[in-house]
Structure 1
Amino acid sequence: MASGVAVSDECIRVYDEIKMGHQWLYIIYRVSEDLRTIIVEEKAGHDKTYQDFVARLKQAEAKRQCRYAVFDVRFIQNDVPQERLAFFLWSPDMATIKQKMIYTSSKQALRNKMRGIHAEIQCTEDSDLTMSNILERICSKYT
């Protein structure tokens, strides 16, 4: 908690739901308005898509804000279905300096509560969010 921003209990509970039961496709986290706590902004079921996830991050960008997220990435590797959790720090170029500083300095407090993340992806622009980039990052850990 180097930045003084705490992680809410709900963040850990919802993360455990995606990790253990694959209950959600993705979770988006944000820092509360008072800048004291990381909270769950959205948890999305499997009726959503990766494009929906990206669109939600882009909504934060339009407000000049950053976000954290976890996405349950599903893919086929060597003819075997795989599921891996990817952690995102969305820190778009358009975000305010204050947002970037708070999210960067608070990231580790959230990450320390999340065991089982297979890839950590810092994104600053649209090209960082392409599924091919995400799969490359996840699969590179196993080759």
Structure 2
Amino acid sequence: MAVHDDCKLKFQELKAKRTHRFIVFKIEEKQKQVIVEKLGEPTESYEDFTKCLPADECRYAVYDFDFLTAENVPKSRIFFIAWSPDTSRIRSKMIYASSKDRFKRELDGIQVELQATDPTEMGLDVSKWQNLDNYRFPSFAIKTFISLDDDKPVVS
């Protein structure tokens, strides 16, 4: 699966310049390449992001997630989300699953990976912060971590 150059360019803008809060990527099956479908403005919320994910189609996405450490120091992590709803076509699920690792290698700087099949797996309840090895992450992220090593999350 080819990756359009715009995907890498927009990801670098998100990572280095923080000009986007999130990016939603789509596989164009006829062209056999990953393209940028939607860019989120820096002011857009996590809720705005989740509304961009179609209910019955697979997507890849990255989200620049800001949080506070236990010492109230602001930090940021780039989440990669593999969105594969239960209602999407089997063929689409297979294409996205088989292309995911190759696509992720093109995006240098992803720190956390999530896989979600329905919106409840991506829920963000800011009022319910939990502590994990000196970091406060939202409850949806807690279940994906197994440890923190040298300030970098290690996911299961």
Please state which band the TM-score falls in when normalised by the shorter chain: 0.7 to 0.9
| TM-score, structure 2 normalization | 0.80
Q: How many residues align?
A: 135
Q: Percent identity?
A: 32
Provide the rounded CA distance (Å) in 2 between the counterparts of 1:97 and 1:116: 30
Unaligned stretches of 5+ in structure 1? none
Give the Cα–Cα distance (whole angstroms) in 2 for the partners of residues 129 and 69 of structure 1: 12
Which residue of 34, 42, 45 corresponds with 2:41?
Answer: 45
TM-score by length of 1: 0.87
Give the C-alpha shift of residue 135 in structure 1.
Answer: 3.7
AA in 2 matched with 1:70: V
After superposition, the Cα gap between the structure-2 partners of 1:96 and 1:46, relative to the gap in structure 1 and judged at 3 Å, is same
What is the aligned counterpart of 2:30 among 31, 34, 48?
34
1:136 Cα deviation after fit: 2.1
CA RMSD of aligned residues (A): 1.8
Does structure 1 retain, via aligned residues, the 8 Å contact 2:114–2:144?
no
Structure 2 unmatched runs, 5+: 125-137, 150-156
Post-superposition Cα deviations, 1:23-68, rounded to whole Å, max 9, x if no partner, equal: 11000000115151100001111221110111111xx22xx21000
Does 2:17 correspond to 1:25?
A: no
* 2:110 paired residue number: 117
Is 1:14 paired with 2:7? no
In 2, Cα distance between equivalents of 1:37 and 1:81: 36
Bigger radius of gyration: 2
Does the 8 Å contact 1:84/1:138 carry over to 2? no
Confirm or deny that 1:142 pairs with 2:142: no
Among candidates 49, 70, 79, match of residue 86 of structure 1: 79
RCO greater where, 1 or 2, for CA within 8 Å and sep 6 or more? 1
Residue 56 of structure 1 pairs with residue 52 of structure 2 = yes
* Distance in 2 separating the partners of 1:29 and 1:69: 6
